[in-house]
Amino acid sequence: MNNLGISSGMLWTAAIALAALIAGTIIRLAALQVHPDEKRSERIASLKSWWCVAILVLAASVGGRLVIVVLMGMISVLAMREFLSLAMTRRSRRGIRIGAYVLLVVSYVMLAIGLVDWFVCAVPLLAFTIPSVTLIASGRADDAVNQIARTSFATLVTTYALGHAALLACLPPESNLVAGPAGWFLFLVATTQVNDIAQALVGRRIGRRPLTRVSPGKTWEGFVGGAAITIVVAVGLNRLLTPMSVNETIVASVLISIAGLLGDLNISLVKRDAGVKDSGTLIPGQGGILDRIDSLTFTAPAFYYFVQAINVS
């Protein structure tokens, strides 16, 4: 730790991330010379978005628990907005949407003030109770099951599941003597993003065997190659950010690779049902916020409970 209370591992990780971004930016800009102007502007916009995402995540990790909770709360609000716009119809009640946002805010307030057990136990119950009570109060039963199910699903994905990333930062300091609880958070986000990128790149290069019709671009080669690259990167980052052993890191990497793929495909189901390619246009060159954090909706809870398991053992 330095005078600011920031671990050397956190600083090294930030330096590595920025160096990777600089190298990737140089390579991408060089490759863009052969692309049409329209494609070039889209890729440059994507590069700018990556820089913004990296700086936000690194700054939150350095800022600690409260900053991470606030960042994830803001991301959840944006994700909820996109999810409801995709999943809900024009017939949906305004009150049921308001209830979902109120629960989201209350959930992150719980995390901010340290009510972790309340978050873990209460949010899933309230996710279907609040929409149901809202419709009961309205006195209208038409399309009730559909609206309750869609609102509950939106809350579980964008509030409860994503909230587990913030939960990592709420773990006790003794759970991670290498980089503090924020180290768990940064490790999760870094490996999830590496897995996303690696699966996409390997799939484009050598992918031949389709994995599922839900997302035709996903291939078995991309999944296996992405998992292998994620393991290598995770083992390298682990010594800087977490106290896990090599074997635990490998298991965590495989878990994140599988969960990341399922999270991606889960949001693909929602988008296909809505008949859209991207969840929105919030992030230039990359689509909506759900397009960027889809994998995290599954990797966050998977990794959180894995960390809990190894700490107990």
Identify the pLDDT of residue 291: 93
Q: 186 near 10, Cβ under 8 Å? A: yes
Identify the pLDDT of residue 92: 66
Identify the pLDDT of residue 91: 62
pTM of the model: 0.93
- Pairwise CA distance, residues 8 & 4, whole Å: 11
Q: Specify the DSSP class assigned to residue 36.
A: -
| Tokens, residue 135 | 């419709």
Q: 215 near 264, Cβ under 8 Å? A: yes
Q: 149 near 127, Cβ under 8 Å? A: no
Identify the pLDDT of residue 1: 52
Identify the pLDDT of residue 5: 57
φ and ψ at residue 40, rounded to 5 degrees: -65, -45
Q: Specify the DSSP class assigned to residue 89.
A: -
φ and ψ at residue 219, rounded to 5 degrees: -130, 160
Handedness of CA 125, 258, 283, 169 (dihedral sign): positive
Q: Specify the DSSP class assigned to residue 79.
A: H
pLDDT tens, per residue, the chain with 313 residues:
544 457 888 888 989 988 988 998 888 777 777 666 666 777 788 888 888 999 999 999 999 999 999 999 999 999 999 999 998 766 667 889 999 999 999 999 999 999 999 999 999 999 999 999 999 998 888 888 999 999 999 999 999 999 999 999 999 999 999 999 999 999 999 999 999 999 999 999 999 999 998 998 899 999 999 999 999 999 999 999 999 999 999 999 999 999 999 999 999 999 999 999 899 888 887 889 999 999 999 999 999 999 999 986 5
Identify the pLDDT of residue 4: 47
| Residue bearing tokens 């896990």 | 244
- Pairwise CA distance, residues 289 & 206, whole Å: 28
Q: Specify the DSSP class assigned to residue 210.
A: B
| Residue bearing tokens 């990797």 | 299
- Pairwise CA distance, residues 266 & 268, whole Å: 5
SS3 283: strand
- Pairwise CA distance, residues 46 & 31, whole Å: 14
Identify the pLDDT of residue 90: 60
- Pairwise CA distance, residues 181 & 172, whole Å: 7
Identify the pLDDT of residue 34: 67
Please report, for residues 39, 165, 280, 283, 287, the alpha-carbon distance to residue 45 in angstroms, rounded to integers and kept in the order given.
10, 26, 15, 9, 11
Identify the pLDDT of residue 33: 72
Identify the pLDDT of residue 2: 47
Smallest Cα–Cα separation from 169: which of 54, 276, 72? 72
φ and ψ at residue 217, rounded to 5 degrees: -75, -15
Smallest Cα–Cα separation from 236: which of 70, 78, 31, 13? 13
Identify the pLDDT of residue 3: 43
- Pairwise CA distance, residues 46 & 284, whole Å: 6
Identify the pLDDT of residue 265: 96
